[in-house]
Structure 1
Amino acid sequence: MKKTQQNGSRGRPDFLLLILTLLLVGFGLVMVFSASSNIALVSSKFNNDAFYFTKRQLAWAVLGIFSMLFMMNLPYQIFKRGFLLLFIPVLIMLMVVPFTEPVNGARSWFQIGSLGIQPTEPAKLAIILYLGALISKKGEKFRDFKKGLVPVLVIVAIICGLIMAQPDLGSCMVLASSAIIMIIAGGANLKQVAVAGGVAGIGVAILAAIGMATNPDGWEYRIARFTAYSDPLADQQGSGFQLVSSLQALGHGGFTGAGFGESVQKLHYLDYPYNDFIFSVIAEELGFIGASLFLLFYLLFLWRALIVALRCPDQYGTIVGVGIVGLFGIQAFINVGGVTGAIPLTGVTLPFVSYGGSSLLVCLMCIGVLLSISREANKQDKPERTKRSHS
């Protein structure tokens, strides 16, 4: 009897979310290979190894899955008390990274040998856990603008300011949007949120202006991306080259696709086809049908993650869960919207699919938090199911 009680102390994780996540990661590995194999094969920089990027991504995936399982087996309430263990190191890294050597005009990476660490990625999880703890702790006081909303906005503004200093406008937009979703989920007054959003927009504009003045080289490339969005054909060989190449990939894919591994635009036309532009490769090789099915699958994944978040028995878990779903959804929207020309390109990756170890690791850690939440929700449901089975 005692053994049964111990085993029933926590519910089962949401297996549907787990399976959808693993399928998404597996698909990402396949597409990373397709998008990167030719580039890696012809370059001595990558040891002329067609599997160079795939092997590295696989290693991060294995580490991420173990991290996911570890966090899944922790009661998610522990993150409410221990968020500073992640938040403080991330804050320090964000303060230091603007002084590192620039890569592609941005100081966003810590380079340790051949290993690159992007502190913006763990910052996304850290700020979600921090805001979840802060909002739920305030309770009804959170509806008070000065005592509730302002302290939260100050934290978000500080983190966004540090990210803009790199500069990384795309990640700043993702993090700020996720924070707004969490604030709304926490019960904030929508009018106050709108006013705060307007102030935040002005703040971002000011930070961008300061960044342009202090780091013109870093911002020149990003400004060119925005101008190319309005008319990419005006400078096809310059600022519009990447967007035009991406649109050509979509067109070449047609309805049924060119076939797996048959992308043309990944052959030194698209910069980082295995990263920012991996959806372009998906659409070119799998066509409109394949790309649409992929997006439908992604929506199914987001829907299931949202269901898990909303079933959480307490406010903290719900706010954190909704923040994680918002993070995935917004980042995917910005990535797909950028490469299809719907919105300006920002260099944001496609979660779980694009190449990038830091991103994949943090995404899987986020899933670990959601699975921990699902275990608590299933624990709450278990007595009711047991009662019905004995009636």
Structure 2
Amino acid sequence: MEGTIRGRPDFLLLFVTVLLVGFGLVMIFSASSPKALFNHASPWYFVLKQGTFAMIGLFLMFLFMSLPFSVWKKAAPVLLISSLLLLVLVLIGGVNINGAKRWFVVAGFNFQPAEWTKLSLIVYLSALISKKGERIKKFRDGLLPILIIVGSILLLVMKQPDFGTVLILVSISTVILIVGGMAWSHLLLLSTGFAPVMAYLAISQSYRLKRMNSFLNPFDDQTGAGYQLIQSLYALAHGRLTGTGIGGSVQKLFYLPEAHTDFIFAVVGEEIGFAGASLLFIVFYLFIWRGFTAAVRSADPFGAMLGMGIVAMICIQLLLNLGAVTGSLPITGVPLPFISYGGSSLILCMASTGILLSISRDNNRRLHEESKK
């Protein structure tokens, strides 16, 4: 399909990705330095680890960009099986952190299998639906096998438990199914049946119910469940229009929990203000726009679904994180793509971007060949 000559990648997409990662490293150093100095005697502790993750991510991004995206279609079953195996193993031998078993510790680094399950599911669903073609409109032969696969993954992720990842996986699967041509009647039926289940899961555990209450009424428990959101809002308010300047955050000084991870945007808003945060939104918009363009221009249904799944993954995580930090959505523990501290998330986002760049290369190759005719 790709021919012997590869096209040029989307350099704007590549540039904004590197820009986001670079900005993330700057903000991680700023947000984490007090904690790193206090706990590890060096302000560079977290940013050096994140820099290692960024180098791994950069290598994978360029590697995946150089590979024809069709190779993922062949690898889809292996990716899915390996992800299912890792999700089972993490429940057995994973590290328990704050009551959740989501991580393996390898050579001092945490590895979260659920992050890679996102990409595995995107690849597998795209490959399976592109193979089914019009049969996806039939329930028993087309949709039911997919629901069984997705449902099995969701059950394993809920056992960790990780409700935020469940939301992301459900949303990604829905996007791919819509792009793949599922019947709208099936979508309506599934939405009607699934909404009560998600609502029940959101309040079935006491800590999730506390998160919901803190989202609705954070000031009712200012030193307990609402504390993190209140400190986040204080940080954003303190930033005003132009911010306090890089390094000038007050809330990162042990007031705001998870300042360098899930709530790093609060520090971003405090230090660069509304104006700087708006520029960051523009950069994210450019990423989503170029990723979406690469997906819709693909002449291969697998490439279109693969690209849309990756863009949906980044976009959904972005919305869930920003919603939690600003009090617009309940807290789900979802990191800010490319910016938050965490190796699994950063490497996944950069590797997935490499696949988007590979799709853009194929598009440009095809357009170049068509222009010659």
* Same structural fold, with TM-score higher than 0.5 when normalized by the shorter chain: yes
* 1:202 CA drift (Å): 4.0
Q: How many residue pairs were aligned?
A: 371
Do the aligned partners of 1:86 and 1:126 also contact (CA within 8 Å) in 2?
yes
* 1:22-73 residue CA offsets vs partner (Å, 9 max, x unmatched): 1111111111111101110122xx2x11111111111111111111111111
Aligned to 1:370: 356
- What is the percent sequence identity of the aligned residues? 46
Aligned to 2:264: 278
Do the aligned partners of 1:8 and 1:379 also contact (CA within 8 Å) in 2?
no
Query: Structure 1 residues 242, 208: CA separation in 2 closer, same or farther (over 3 Å shift)?
Result: closer
For 1:386 and 1:270, the matched residues in 2 are separated by 58
Aligned to 1:119: 113
3-state secondary structure, aligned to 1:331: helix
From 155, 163, 171, give the equivalent of 1:161: 155
For residue 53 of structure 1, what is the amino acid of its counterpart? F
Aligned to 1:334: 320
* 1:355-383 residue CA offsets vs partner (Å, 9 max, x unmatched): 11011111111011111111111111112
3-state secondary structure, aligned to 2:97: coil
For residue 122 of structure 1, what is the amino acid of its counterpart? W
From 85, 103, 106, give the equivalent of 1:109: 103
| Counterparts of residues 255-274 of structure 1 (less than 5 Å) | 255-274=241-260
Gaps in structure 2 of 5+ consecutive residues: none
* 1:256 CA drift (Å): 1.1
For residue 189 of structure 1, what is the amino acid of its counterpart? A
Query: Structure 1 residues 106, 220: CA separation in 2 closer, same or farther (over 3 Å shift)?
Result: farther
For residue 85 of structure 2, what is the amino acid of its counterpart? I
| Counterparts of residues 86-235 of structure 1 (less than 5 Å) | 86-99=79-92, 100-204=94-198, 219-235=205-221
3-state secondary structure, aligned to 1:133: helix
For 2:160 and 2:267, the matched residues in 1 are separated by 28
3-state secondary structure, aligned to 1:264: coil
* 1:316 CA drift (Å): 0.4
For 2:230 and 2:202, the matched residues in 1 are separated by 26
* 1:204 CA drift (Å): 4.1
* 1:271-308 residue CA offsets vs partner (Å, 9 max, x unmatched): 11111001101101111111111112111111111001
3-state secondary structure, aligned to 2:74: helix
For 1:119 and 1:226, the matched residues in 2 are separated by 26
- 2:18 paired with 1:19: no
For 1:14 and 1:54, the matched residues in 2 are separated by 28
3-state secondary structure, aligned to 2:105: strand
* 1:155-205 residue CA offsets vs partner (Å, 9 max, x unmatched): 111111111111111111011101101110011122211211232334445
- Please give the root-mean-square deviation of Cα atoms over the aligned residues, in Å: 1.7
- Residues 28-37 or 194-203, more deviating: 194-203
Aligned to 1:59: 52
Do the aligned partners of 2:66 and 2:358 also contact (CA within 8 Å) in 1?
yes
For residue 355 of structure 1, what is the amino acid of its counterpart? Y
Aligned to 1:3: none
Aligned to 1:29: 25
For 1:187 and 1:90, the matched residues in 2 are separated by 26
For 2:135 and 2:319, the matched residues in 1 are separated by 33
Do the aligned partners of 2:79 and 2:124 also contact (CA within 8 Å) in 1?
no
3-state secondary structure, aligned to 2:328: coil
Aligned to 2:306: 320
For residue 195 of structure 2, what is the amino acid of its counterpart? G
* 1:14 CA drift (Å): 1.2
For residue 64 of structure 2, what is the amino acid of its counterpart? M
Query: Structure 1 residues 284, 346: CA separation in 2 closer, same or farther (over 3 Å shift)?
Result: same
- 2:73 paired with 1:80: yes
* 1:116-136 residue CA offsets vs partner (Å, 9 max, x unmatched): 110111000000000001110
Do the aligned partners of 1:313 and 1:376 also contact (CA within 8 Å) in 2?
no
For residue 263 of structure 1, what is the amino acid of its counterpart? S
Q: Give the TM-score of the pair, scaled to structure 2.
A: 0.96
Do the aligned partners of 2:202 and 2:208 also contact (CA within 8 Å) in 1?
no
For residue 91 of structure 1, what is the amino acid of its counterpart? L
For 1:259 and 1:42, the matched residues in 2 are separated by 22
For 2:364 and 2:95, the matched residues in 1 are separated by 48
3-state secondary structure, aligned to 2:100: coil
3-state secondary structure, aligned to 1:107: strand
Gaps in structure 1 of 5+ consecutive residues: 1-5, 213-218
Do the aligned partners of 1:229 and 1:343 also contact (CA within 8 Å) in 2?
yes
